[in-house]
Amino acid sequence: MNLPEIRKIDKQLTKGLLDIIVLGMLRSKSMHGYKIITSIRKNFGIYFGPSTIYPFLSNLEEKGLIKSQWDTTHDRPRKVYCLTPDGNSILIGCEQSFNNMCLQLNKIGMSRLPSINANQNNITLDQVGVQ
C-alpha cells in the first residue's frame, strides 16, 4: 500500500472517530475551536478546517455532550468548549465499544491493535495513542 492510500485511510478513520477524539480532548481541559483544530492536526496529522470543526462542535453542543462559553479575557473573545457529564458518559461508552472492537479484531488476527482493560473505571484515550 502506498503513502497516499495510507493517508486517505488515516483521514477516513480520524473523521469516523472525530466525536470520540474531540470528547477525549475536552475531558482533560477546555479548548477553543482553533486549539481543537491544531490539536487534531498535531496528534493525528490530519487537518480539519473551521468549516468542518465548528459545525461539528455545534452539533455536539446541541446533543448536550459539550457546552460552550465566551472567554473575554483575551484581546479577541473566544468560544471555549468543555465536556458535560452526559458527554463524559458517552465518551466512556465509546471507549468501551472501541476496546471491544479492538479485542474482536485481535481475535481475527489483527494483533497489533491496542486493547484497554475494560474493568478499569477511568479508561482514557491516552492508552490508545491520543495525547
Q: What is the CATH number of the domain that holds 21?
A: 1.10.10.10
Domain count, the chain: 1
| Model pLDDT, residue 107 | 87
Spans of the chain below 70 pLDDT: 113-131
Task: Give the total residue count for the chain.
Answer: 131
Q: Which residues contact 37 (CB under 8 A, 6 or more apart)?
A: 47, 48, 49, 50, 53
| Model pLDDT, residue 61 | 98
- Domain span holding position 116: 3-128
Q: Which residues contact 76 (CB under 8 A, 6 or more apart)?
A: none
What's this model's pTM, rounded to 2 decimal places?
0.80
